[in-house]
Amino acid sequence: MSFTDVKDSSKSRLLESDQQTVAEEILARASGRNWVNPGENVVAEVDAMMMHDIFAADVLSMLKKAGIRRLNNPSKATVVFDHMVPSPSVSSSSHQAKARELIRYYGIDAFFEIGTGICHQVMVEENRVAPGQLVVGTDSHTTTYGALGVASTGIGSTEMAYALATGKLWFRVPESIAIVLDGEFQFGVTAKDLILKLMKVIGSSEAQYCSVEFGGPSVGNLDLADRMTVANMGVEMGAKFTIFPQGALTTLKRDARYIARHVVSLDKLVPQIAVPHHVENVVDVNEVVGVPLDQVFIGSCTNGRLGDLRLAADVLRGKHIAKGIRLIVTPASANVMAAAAREGIIEDLVKAGAYVGGPGCGPCFGGHMGLLAPGERCLGTHNRNFRGRMGSGDAEIYLGSPLTAAASALAGAIADPREISDGLSSVHTGTTMSSSGG
Amino acid sequence: MAMNDNVTKILGRAWLFGPNISTDMLSPGQYVHHPPEERLKHVLESARPEFAGQVRPGEIVVGGPNFGCGSSRESAPQHLKDLGVAAVVADSFARIFARNAIAIGLVAIACPTLSEVVEDGDIIEVDVIAGRVFIADRNITLDADSIPESMMDVLRHGGIEPMLALIGAEQAQDK
C-alpha cells in the first residue's frame, strides 16, 4: 500500500476554510450552531444512546440513586445484552436481573435480550442509528456506526447517566483527518487488512481525539460490512469518530478543514497481522507465517458478520482444522447466524472442527468463553490484542482477517490466506467478498 | 453542595508506567464479575504486580503516551480512585479514559514528555489550574494541558454523580 500524505495544518488555512468536516457539521447541528471550530467545547443534544449488559445496571442504578424519576427521552435509549451472555456466573445473572428491572422502570422499550446479537450489529440491523446523527454508547467500539455516516463514540457509564437524564453531553470538537481510498483490494485482502494497515501507518499518535473521515474513488469498494469493520477499529487509532459520509454528506469536501489528508492505494495492500501486545504492532503476514497457535477465534463486532463467516467457510469447507488447535466461531447476531445456517456455513464450520457459539462478545473481551492459559497463543478476527484481553496476561494474541484466521486454523500456525488457493475462487477480492449480515 | 478544592493542586509520590497502559491492564476483563475488593487486587498487575498492594492514598500515577487506551469501562479510572490515587498524569490520554476519570471526579491531566523526565518514586506537584507539573527533586517544571471549564466544574462537584443528585432534586420538586 502506498501513501501520499498531504499535511497542511497551517492555522491560517484552517481558519479561512468555509467548509466544515463531517464531524464539525454534525456537532454544529447538534449544538444548535451553524459553525464550530476544532478545540472548542460544545454542549450537544445526543440523538441516540446505547448501553450493554456490563454497564446498563450501573448507569440506571446511578440515576435511581440520584433520585432521577424519568429519562429525558426514553425512546432514544437502546439496551443490548451481549457481553456476559448467556450469563456465566450468579453475580452476572444478578447484575442482569437488576438491569432488566431498571429498564422497565425507566420505560426503555428498545431492549434486546441475550441472543439478539452484539450491540453494534444490533443497532445497525434494528435501525437504531441514522446518517448524520450524534450517538454515544457505553462501549468503545461505538465508533462502528460511522459506517453509516454517524458521529458516534464511546463514553463511560457516569457520562451515560448524565446523557440519559439531560439528553445532552459536552464534546470537544475534534480535529479531522481525511483518508482518501484509491485502487482495489487484491485477492485474499480484506477491509480488516486495511484498518490494521492504517493502525500501523497513522495510529494513535496522529489520530488521537480526531475524527477520521473516509472518501475517495474506491470508498464504494467497501460495502456496509467492510465499513463497519473499519469504523469499528477506528477507536484503536484513538479516533473519537470514524466516519464514512452518507446522505447529504456523501463526499469529503475538498476544502474542509482536515489537518491531514492521506491517499491510500488498496492495490498494494497485503494481509496484515497485529502482533502482541498492541494493535499498532502491525506487520505483513509473511513476517509471522508459521508462528504456532493454540486457538483461533472468528467473530466479534469487528468481523463476525455473514461475509466474514462465509469467507471462513470457503477456506474450511470439506477440510479439518489442524490437530491440536481450537477454533471458536461466534456470529455477530441472530440474523447473521440464521443466514449462515441457511447457507450451510454453520455446517461447514462445525464439520471442519469449529466450536460455533451463539451471538455475543464473550471470547473477544475475555469475559468468558475460550479464555487463554499462560503461554498460549491465539489469532483472532477481533479488535484488541492487549495483554490480559483474552484471559491470562501471559498469553499472546494476534489479530487478522477472517481469511487469515481460517487459513491459520487449517495450518495450526499463522498462515498467508493467499496461499490457500483451492476452494477459494478469485472472486474473493474486496469488492465481492463481504456482505452486510442480516 | 460542597465544592471540592482538593482537585486543583496535588502533591504526591509518582508511580511510573510505560506507554499504552490499557483498560485491560487497569481492569482485566476476566475479573469483571468478581467482587470489588477482589478486582482491586488485579489493577495493573500485568504492568507492575506490586502496584495494587503498595500504592498509598494521595499518590499519583504517571503514564506515557496513550494512557487508558482500550475499552470504555469506567472501572479503569474508578479502580485507581478506589485505591486512593489522587491524580493520573500522562504524556497523553486515550480520550474515553480521560473523560471517564473526570466524570468520576479523578484528576486526569496530560503533560507531554513527563514520563521521560520523571523517575519512579519522585515527589511531584500537579497544579491543575495553572497547567503545570513540578518535580521537586529535580527542580523541573513542565507545562501541562489545561482542563476545560466544563470539566473543572465536574471535578469541583466531585464528579457527575453529585450533579445528577441536583437534577434528581429538581425533578422531585416538579413532580
Report CB contact under 8 Å: A69, B45.
no
Report CB contact under 8 Å: B25, A170.
no
A8-37: pLDDT as tens digits: 444 444 545 678 999 999 999 999 999 999
Cα–Cα dist A81/A55, whole Å: 10
**pLDDT computed for residue B35 by the predictor:** 87
Cα–Cα dist A432/A135, whole Å: 30
Going by C-beta distance under 8 Å and a sequence separation of 6 or more, which residues neighbour residue A202? Answer: A177, A179, A212, A237, A262
Listed range (A124-138, A200-214, A241-255, B93-107) with the worst mean pLDDT: A241-255
One CATH from 3.30.499.10, 3.40.640.10, 3.40.50.620, 3.40.1160.10 for A275-419: 3.30.499.10
- The DSSP result for A198-239, as a single string, is HHHHTHHHHHTTPEEEEESTTGGGS-HHHHHHHHHGGGGGT-
Length of chain A: 438
Which candidate, A97, A100, A45, A104, places its Cα nearest to that of A74?
Answer: A104
Cis peptide before A363 (omega within 30 of 0): no
Report the residue of B1, B93, B160 to disrupt the A interface, i.e. the one with the largest count of A CBs within 10 Å.
B160
A140-169: pLDDT as tens digits: 999 999 999 999 999 999 999 999 999 999
Quickly count: other Cβ atoms within 10 Å of residue A275's Cβ: 20
Residues of B in contact with A373 (CB under 8 A): none
- Give the dihedral sign, CA A139/A192/A213/A244: negative
**pLDDT computed for residue A434 by the predictor:** 37
Residues of B in contact with A167 (CB under 8 A): none
For the cut 60, the answer to whether the pLDDT of residue A83 exceeds it is yes
Number of H helices, E strands in chain A: 15, 19
Which candidate, A381, A404, A380, places its Cα nearest to that of A271?
Answer: A404
Nearest to B160 among A139, A159, A204 (CB): A159
Q: Which amino acid is at A56?
A: A
Residues of B in contact with A387 (CB under 8 A): 22, 24-25, 46
Cα–Cα dist A381/A364, whole Å: 9
Which H helix or E strand runs over A153?
A: strand A151-154
A-B CB pairs within 8 A amount to 148
Eight-state DSSP code of residue B91: S
Chain A CA closest to residue B175: A69
* Percentage of residues in chain B having pLDDT higher than 90: 76
Check CB contact of A66 with chain B, cutoff 8 Å. Answer: yes
Nearest to B160 among A69, A162, A205 (CB): A162
**Residue B109 vs residue A250, higher pLDDT:** B109
Burial profile A299-316: b = 16 or more Cβ within 10 angstroms, e = fewer? bbbbbbbbbbbbbbbbbb
Check CB contact of A382 with chain B, cutoff 8 Å. Answer: no
Query: Is there a contact between A170 and A43 (Cβ–Cβ < 8 Å)?
Result: yes
Tell me the CATH class for A41-171. Answer: alpha beta
**pLDDT computed for residue B4 by the predictor:** 60
Secondary-structure percent of chain A, ordered helix, strand, coil, rounded to 5: 35, 20, 45
Check CB contact of A40 with chain B, cutoff 8 Å. Answer: no
Q: CA A254 → CA A20, A142, A251, A417, distances in Å?
A: 10, 27, 9, 37
Q: What does pLDDT average to over chain A?
A: 91
Cα–Cα dist B45/B51, whole Å: 7
A209-260: pLDDT as tens digits: 999 999 998 998 999 999 999 999 999 998 999 999 975 444 667 678 899 9
Which residues of B fall below an 8 Å CB-CB distance to A?
Answer: 20, 22, 24-25, 28-30, 32-35, 45-46, 65-66, 69-74, 92, 94-96, 99-100, 103-104, 148-151, 159-161, 163-165, 167-169, 171-172
A386-411: pLDDT as tens digits: 888 899 989 999 999 999 999 999 99
Residues of A in contact with B66 (CB under 8 A): 204, 208, 238
The domain spans of chain B are 9-174
**pLDDT computed for residue B130 by the predictor:** 92
All cell numbers assigned to A409: 486454523
List alpha helices for A43-190, DSSP H.
56-65, 90-105, 119-125, 157-166
Cα–Cα dist A167/A43, whole Å: 10
For the cut 50, the answer to whether the pLDDT of residue A49 exceeds it is yes
Which candidate, A271, A371, A367, places its Cα nearest to that of A311?
Answer: A271
| Residue appearing with cell numbers 497485503 | A270
Query: Is there a contact between B20 and A382 (Cβ–Cβ < 8 Å)?
Result: no
User: Could you say which residues from 123 to 142 on chain A have a Cβ atom under 8 Å away from some Cβ of chain B?
Assistant: 137-140, 142
Chain A CA closest to residue B45: A393
Which candidate, A409, A417, A352, places its Cα nearest to that of A379?
Answer: A409
For the cut 70, the answer to whether the pLDDT of residue A425 exceeds it is no
- What is the architecture of the domain spanning B9-174? Alpha-Beta Barrel (3.20)
Chain A CA closest to residue B46: A393
Q: How confident is the model at residue B34 (pLDDT cuts 50, 70, 90)?
A: confident
B45-B47-B50-B54 Cα dihedral, nearest 10 degrees: -90
Q: CA A2 → CA A226, A239, A266, B90, distances in Å?
A: 20, 22, 8, 33
Listed range (A422-431, B17-26, B77-86, B160-169) with the worst mean pLDDT: A422-431
B132-158: pLDDT as tens digits: 999 988 999 999 998 888 889 999 999
- Sheet (strand A110-112) strand order: A110-112, A77-80, A48-52, A134-137, A151-154
- Give the dihedral sign, CA B157/B158/B159/B165: negative
**pLDDT computed for residue A421 by the predictor:** 62
Report residue B86: phi and psi, to 5°: -90, -25
Going by C-beta distance under 8 Å and a sequence separation of 6 or more, which residues neighbour residue A342? Answer: none
Nearest to A158 among B28, B161, B172 (CB): B161
All cell numbers assigned to A426: 478469485
A268-295: pLDDT as tens digits: 999 999 999 999 999 999 999 999 999 9
Which candidate, A186, A240, A247, places its Cα nearest to that of A213?
Answer: A240
Query: Is there a contact between A402 and A308 (Cβ–Cβ < 8 Å)?
Result: yes
One CATH from 3.30.390.50, 3.20.20.70, 3.40.1060.10, 3.30.300.30 for A29-36+173-268: 3.40.1060.10
Fold: same for A41-171 and A275-419: yes
**pLDDT computed for residue A210 by the predictor:** 95
Give the three-state DSSP class for B28.
coil
Q: Nearest CA of chain B to the CA of A342: how many Å?
A: 34
Beta strand A272-274 pairing with A326-330: unpaired
Q: What does pLDDT average to over chain B?
A: 92
Going by C-beta distance under 8 Å and a sequence separation of 6 or more, which residues neighbour residue A425? Answer: none
| Mean predicted confidence (pLDDT) in A301-308 | 98
Q: Nearest CA of chain A to the CA of B162: how many Å?
A: 8
Contacts of residues A87-90 at CB distance under 8 Å and 24 or more positions apart, as own/partner, are A87/A114, A88/A367, A88/A368, A88/A369, A88/B33, A89/B33
* Percentage of residues in chain B having pLDDT higher than 70: 96
Cα–Cα dist A430/A66, whole Å: 50
Report the residue of A106, A159, A232 to disrupt the B interface, i.e. the one with the largest count of B CBs within 10 Å.
A159
User: Could you say which residues from 202 to 261 on chain A have a Cβ atom under 8 Å away from some Cβ of chain B?
Assistant: 204-205, 208-209, 236, 238, 240
Q: How confident is the model at residue A2 (pLDDT cuts 50, 70, 90)?
A: very low
Report CB contact under 8 Å: B33, A278.
no
What pTM was estimated for this model as a whole? 0.88
> Angle, to 10 degrees, between the axis of helix A157-166 and the axis of helix B160-174?
20
B53-90: pLDDT as tens digits: 999 999 999 999 999 998 878 899 999 999 999 999 99
Cα–Cα dist A413/A418, whole Å: 15
Chain B CA closest to residue A58: B74
Q: CA A109 → CA A62, A118, A215, A343, distances in Å?
A: 20, 18, 36, 32
Query: Is there a contact between A106 and A63 (Cβ–Cβ < 8 Å)?
Result: yes
Give the three-state DSSP class for B133.
strand
For the cut 70, the answer to whether the pLDDT of residue B165 exceeds it is yes
- The DSSP result for A74-92, as a single string, is GGGEEEE--SS-S--SHHH
